[in-house]
A and B are shown apart, each in its own frame.
Chain A
């Protein structure tokens, strides 16, 4: 199984070659060759053409992710702890789950303008729900024996939350964060599609207008890289924080 990475890479190179050959018989407008895209990408990076766009989109994603996750986490904790809040709010949560959040993007642009705020808010909104749900259910369904142990030790409600419910629910909470990271990229890009002059999403729309397909692909690649880096960061956090549990699930 150690060679599997090598075969993965081999497959990737093979697909690239296939693409290169296929692109040779087609207009660059429809399918630019990998070599052309790569050239555009490097060129844009060297001249600094992409820099502002990358920073802008990354900032939107990260700010939205932090904001949405934080709120989702906090409200998830509150709803997990208080049955009153849970019963009060869950009809609204369920209803708002059914709303396609991305369809609200035009509205947010109307309310918060064309600058970064509206994109951050869209991103935050779609990151909010996975964190809320995972946090709420993770801290609610803690092992009854462990809860009894904490009662036996006369732990306060706050101590039980901090020392038992949150650490026990951490794998679930991080799984929510993983979903949120993927959604965050989508949120920021869709926001930029609808109204924006800067950012990789805006660049894709602009390249469509300019019929510059290689630029479009280059932007896509940059977005993919941003997404992968963030996803990897969550993975690292997961490995670090839930190391002891991983051993159990692997058995």
Chain B
């Protein structure tokens, strides 16, 4: 069943030539979709269009059959930079999406505590964002996106600032949570092996268009060994070649 449908959208920032040019993308319910591409190819712009932050010049976006003209409560979003509020504690930052909607309940706090535990920042709940490292801040931003148990997640290179080990741990946690809640994910990255490891489907974007799409035929849950299998590495190589060919 299709959950997010992007139909032939085109978008250009005021006066510029299209940054996103005739993109079609269909993501099924519960699917983990990765979008690969070199920097500047329009990934962030596409994500903002898909989440309703920007309106396409042409084309349409449907979320669960309904037209997206505005951001939705059903969606969680992690921006490319953590974008935390410096004057709120880590805990309050995670709870922000809820506290803007209604009075916080004990259940909200418990879930926030659980999320902080998952991202390994239990001891930091009363710290301020400026007292955290860049990677820790990205993790808080992820927890904030998950607090409302969104049915659709938009993630813009959320793990770019993390070291390899933390990144792998968080990849596991993210996959587990998404599987548990049957979350549909559109995940942007420029890291090829991250894309292959995480996704059910990968797409490669170049100069505003999607130039390649492929099903990832690996069993779930993913295991460490898969990263070193031949299928995994062949797919990485194919993607790598597609990305550099697209450039030329």
0/1 string, A221-251, CB within 8 A of B gives 1: 0000000000000000000001111011001
Q: Shortest CB–CB separation between residue A167 and chain B, in angstroms?
A: 5
Does A83 belong to the interface (CB within 8 Å)? no
Does A155 belong to the interface (CB within 8 Å)? yes
Assess the B77–A152 pair: CB atoms within 8 A. yes
> Which residues of B20-72 have CB atoms within 8 Å of chain A's CB atoms?
48, 51, 53, 70-72
Does A27 belong to the interface (CB within 8 Å)? no
0/1 string, B130-166, CB within 8 A of A gives 1: 1100000000000000000000000000000000000
Q: Shortest CB–CB separation between residue A142 and chain B, in angstroms?
A: 11
Does B224 belong to the interface (CB within 8 Å)? no
A–B complex contacts, Cβ < 8 Å, 27 sampled: A143-B83, A145-B81, A146-B83, A146-B85, A148-B48, A149-B83, A151-B71, A152-B53, A152-B71, A153-B71, A153-B97, A154-B73, A154-B100, A159-B100, A164-B85, A167-B85, A167-B87, A168-B85, A168-B87, A242-B87, A243-B128, A244-B86, A245-B86, A245-B87, A247-B128, A247-B130, A251-B130
Nearest neighbor of B52 in chain A, beta-carbon distance:
A152
Does A163 belong to the interface (CB within 8 Å)? yes
Nearest neighbor of A250 in chain B, beta-carbon distance:
B130
Q: Shortest CB–CB separation between residue A165 and chain B, in angstroms?
A: 11
Assess the A153–B100 pair: CB atoms within 8 A. yes
Does B208 belong to the interface (CB within 8 Å)? no
Q: Shortest CB–CB separation between residue B100 and chain A, in angstroms?
A: 5
| Distance of A245 Cα from B131 Cα, bound (Å) | 10
Does A74 belong to the interface (CB within 8 Å)? no
Which of A145, A159, A170, A245 is B83 in contact with, Cβ under 8 Å? Answer: A145
Which residues on the A side are within 8 Å of B130 (C-beta)?
244-245, 247-248, 251
Query: Chain B: how many interface residues by the 8 Å CB criterion?
Result: 22
Which of B73, B79, B100, B129 is A244 in contact with, Cβ under 8 Å? Answer: B129
Which of A163, A167, A242 is B100 in contact with, Cβ under 8 Å? Answer: A163
Assess the A155–B71 pair: CB atoms within 8 A. no
| B interface, CB within 8 angstroms of A | 48, 51, 53, 70-73, 75, 77, 79, 81, 83, 85-87, 96-97, 100, 128-131
| Distance of A245 Cα from B77 Cα, bound (Å) | 25
Which residues on the B side are within 8 Å of A154 (C-beta)?
70-73, 100
Assess the B128–A244 pair: CB atoms within 8 A. yes
| Distance of A167 Cα from B88 Cα, bound (Å) | 10
| Distance of A148 Cα from B131 Cα, bound (Å) | 23
| Distance of A145 Cα from B84 Cα, bound (Å) | 10
Which residues on the B side are within 8 Å of A163 (C-beta)?
85, 96, 100
Assess the B73–A149 pair: CB atoms within 8 A. no
| Distance of A248 Cα from B85 Cα, bound (Å) | 12
| Distance of A145 Cα from B80 Cα, bound (Å) | 9
Which residues on the A side are within 8 Å of B129 (C-beta)?
244
Q: Shortest CB–CB separation between residue A248 and chain B, in angstroms?
A: 4
| Distance of A214 Cα from B128 Cα, bound (Å) | 52
Q: Shortest CB–CB separation between residue B128 and chain A, in angstroms?
A: 4
Which residues on the B side are within 8 Å of A247 (C-beta)?
128, 130-131
Q: Shortest CB–CB separation between residue A2 and chain B, in angstroms?
A: 25
> Which residues of A126-183 have CB atoms within 8 Å of chain B's CB atoms?
143, 145-146, 148-155, 159, 163-164, 167-168, 170
| Distance of A143 Cα from B129 Cα, bound (Å) | 16
Nearest neighbor of A241 in chain B, beta-carbon distance:
B87
| Distance of A145 Cα from B72 Cα, bound (Å) | 18
Q: Shortest CB–CB separation between residue B225 and chain A, in angstroms?
A: 37
Q: Shortest CB–CB separation between residue B132 and chain A, in angstroms?
A: 11
| Distance of A180 Cα from B72 Cα, bound (Å) | 43
Which residues on the A side are within 8 Å of B85 (C-beta)?
146, 163-164, 167-168
| Distance of A174 Cα from B38 Cα, bound (Å) | 43
Which of B70, B73, B79 is A148 in contact with, Cβ under 8 Å? Answer: B79
Point out which of A148, A168, A243, A251 has the most chain B C-beta atoms below 10 A from its C-beta: A148
Which residues on the A side are within 8 Å of B48 (C-beta)?
148
| Distance of A155 Cα from B70 Cα, bound (Å) | 12
Q: Shortest CB–CB separation between residue A43 and chain B, in angstroms?
A: 49
| Distance of A154 Cα from B130 Cα, bound (Å) | 25
| Distance of A243 Cα from B131 Cα, bound (Å) | 11
| Distance of A170 Cα from B87 Cα, bound (Å) | 10
| Distance of A244 Cα from B79 Cα, bound (Å) | 22
Nearest neighbor of B89 in chain A, beta-carbon distance:
A244
